[in-house]
């Protein structure tokens, strides 16, 4: 099974179709946050970066007359559920290890507790890291969803992150 890179995810048609809805700049920033947080938490950085990059891929566009309809969103949103499914489909199509694809998908599902019947549910370490990576990039009024990044900068940032992940994998393999 060959490794799935962050840039492979970026170029996949599912990511291209849905990632921009919630902000490509936010997705890239969260992936970097997850890289930093994963080491401290002792979780797989590759899974954390992938889940953080994809965490908002399930968003629907709740626009009314050109502006975001928060009431509709609050009442009807299921972006975590949709995102978990889209992330899983995309990763499996790219050839990701099925166990890892499930872990990543669950971290996308639990990155927000807004839809959970019991918000006190205990998250595992990977899910905590992804939720924290998202929170760390949030701006008042949801402005983080509107920050811009060019495609070129996104690809450069993700390629650099792939290199950092390769180095982290090599370090981990050498120390085990």
Interface residue list for Fe ion (CB under 5 A): 56, 134
- Residue 86: which of 104, 100, 70, 74 has the closest Cα? 104
Q: Please, which residue, 124 or 138, has the CB nearer to Fe ion? A: 138
User: What distance in Å separates the CA atoms of residue 50 and residue 54, rounded to the nearest whole number?
Assistant: 6
Instruction: State in angstroms the smallest separation of the CB of 109 from Fe ion.
Output: 13
Instruction: State in angstroms the smallest separation of the CB of 176 from Fe ion.
Output: 32
Q: Please, which residue, 142 or 162, has the CB nearer to Fe ion? A: 142
Cα distances (angstroms) measured from residue 90 to each of 13, 74, 115, 136, 149? 9, 27, 23, 25, 22
Instruction: State in angstroms the smallest separation of the CB of 56 from Fe ion.
Output: 4
Instruction: State in angstroms the smallest separation of the CB of 52 from Fe ion.
Output: 9
- The CA dihedral of 47, 74, 21, 44, to the nearest 10 degrees, is -10
Q: Please, which residue, 139 or 175, has the CB nearer to Fe ion? A: 139
Q: Which two structure tokens, joined as six digits, stand for 3? A: 């490794």
Q: Please, which residue, 81 or 167, has the CB nearer to Fe ion? A: 81
Instruction: State in angstroms the smallest separation of the CB of 131 from Fe ion.
Output: 9
User: What distance in Å separates the CA atoms of residue 149 and residue 86, rounded to the nearest whole number?
Assistant: 22
Q: Please, which residue, 46 or 56, has the CB nearer to Fe ion? A: 56
Query: Do 111 and 127 touch, CB atoms closer than 8 A?
Result: yes
């Amino acid at each position: 099974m060959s490794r799935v890179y962050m840039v492979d995810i970026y170029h996949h048609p599912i990511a291209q179709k849905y990632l921009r809805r919630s902000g490509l700049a936010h997705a890239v920033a969260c992936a970097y946050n997850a890289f930093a947080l994963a080491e401290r938490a002792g979780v797989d950085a590759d899974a954390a970066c992938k889940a953080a990059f994809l965490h908002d891929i399930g968003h629907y566009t709740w626009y009314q007359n050109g502006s975001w309809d928060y009431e509709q969103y609050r009442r009807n949103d299921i972006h975590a559920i949709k995102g978990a499914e889209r992330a899983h489909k995309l990763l499996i199509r790219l050839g990701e290890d099925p166990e890892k694809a499930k872990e990543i998908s669950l971290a996308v599902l639990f990155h927000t507790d807004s839809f959970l019947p019991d918000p006190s549910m205990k998250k595992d370490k990977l899910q905590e890291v992804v939720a924290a990576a998202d929170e760390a990039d949030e701006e008042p009024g949801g402005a983080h969803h509107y920050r811009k990044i060019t495609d070129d900068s996104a690809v450069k940032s993700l390629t650099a992150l792939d290199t950092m992940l390769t180095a982290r994998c090599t370090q981990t393999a050498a120390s085990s």
